[in-house]
Structure 1
């Protein structure tokens, strides 16, 4: 942050497919690993895709359904899905993103549906881990852990970031549903998507200063 930061305001950033491009292919790699894990947990090849999609829709994350109904352990998911992804090969440091984040005048907080180890790996690969005050993540070991778009996840993010007024919260995410819930809660939210459906939207994270110019120190951003 700069010398003119607003300590009463926080901008929450989603991580996966938001801070890096969707076309890196991590969605497909993650899905394949989740399906493989589901098969070892007893799902059949005929039903694994539909069942995993149902769990994602009903529980916010497929892993919640696999843990709830098939005995998948947090350690299984961490080892065979998150921990097995070749993040260091696919995600490279992003100097432009780092410059943009450093120009933000308010507090920066990561808010992800991933586990903490995965979240830190991604931020480290991008070269921006040090720019976030904290990370609100999904603790897979917690029974019925909340995740976006559940309101409890947003309330946890506010609590952990130490902000009580939703009008002081800004949010950037690639999921339209996640953005819609944030708006319902009174946050100012931006959707990062090539097919955005919400009021404030950008096609890539680097366009953020264009839609929220009031949050940036333009003198730093332009240098």
Structure 2
């Protein structure tokens, strides 16, 4: 992904010696390198971004069906399961399909790279958009799982319960916070959503 994003920057006319630094800086400052490109270089037409970057990734070689993940999500006892991603719609649907998660989510909030003022995590407006699209008004009813610390911090700031997925977290870590090594560990920090009625 990093290589394709940087090549996209080069193809868009960003000086080669600035590409790596700018792509990283924009990712840190805006949540997505492409968001920074749109913000700082409005003269660049990014309508082909999805085809040249996300859509060109060989995801089938990297991802595979994950029956355990599907079962865990399906067994959650919650009102609505909503996917909130910084990916474009077609990329997100492709990942869902490859992982075998079709039909698991009631909806999705994604990034429309073709919209000149699109918002993405960790921007607060992206979280507000997700709530609007999911039909939720009370932020305390939102539970959020992500591997990006800035996204986790923003979710907490807007009143959501946030669970940080950190693969490098020691297996025996006693953190006192909602941190897990794998999304499959989610029941260990939010057991109420898997509690069986007696």
- TM-score between both structures, scaled by the size of structure 1: 0.80
Contact in 2 for aligned 1:191/1:201 (Cα 8 Å): yes
Between structures 1 and 2, the one with greater strand share: 1
Contact in 1 for aligned 2:26/2:33 (Cα 8 Å): yes
> Could you report, residue by residue, the CA deviation over 1:5-44 in whole angstroms, capped at 9, with x for unpaired residues?
xxxxxxxxxxxxxxxxxxxxxxxxx110011111111123
> Could you report, residue by residue, the CA deviation over 1:31-88 in whole angstroms, capped at 9, with x for unpaired residues?
1001111111112332111111122222221112223416443332111101100112
Alignment partner, residue 65 of structure 2:
93
Alignment partner, residue 35 of structure 1:
6
Contact in 1 for aligned 2:30/2:122 (Cα 8 Å): no
| Aligned with 2:181 (options 203, 208, 211) | 203
Query: Which structure 2 residue ranges, 5 or more long, are not aligned?
Result: 170-174
Contact in 2 for aligned 1:103/1:217 (Cα 8 Å): no
1:125 aligns with 2:98: yes
Alignment partner, residue 172 of structure 2:
none
Alignment partner, residue 17 of structure 1:
none
Alignment partner, residue 24 of structure 1:
none
Q: In structure 2, do the counterparts of structure 1 residues 34 and 71 end up closer, same or farther at CA, with 3 Å as the change threshold? A: farther
- Cα distance in structure 2, aligned partners of 1:36 and 1:146: 23
- TM-score between both structures, scaled by the size of structure 2: 0.90
Secondary structure, aligned partner of 2:113: coil
Q: Tell me by how many angstroms 1:141 deviates.
A: 1.4
Alignment partner, residue 21 of structure 2:
50
Q: Which runs of 4+ in 1 moved over 6 A?
A: none
Instruction: State how many pairs are aligned.
Output: 190
- Cα distance in structure 1, aligned partners of 2:176 and 2:128: 21
| Aligned with 2:128 (options 155, 163, 173) | 155
Secondary structure, aligned partner of 1:128: coil
1:214 aligns with 2:185: no
Matches for 1:69-218 after TM superposition, within 5 Å: 69=41, 71-106=43-78, 107-195=80-168, 199-218=177-196
Query: Which structure 1 residue ranges, 5 or more long, are not aligned?
Result: 1-29
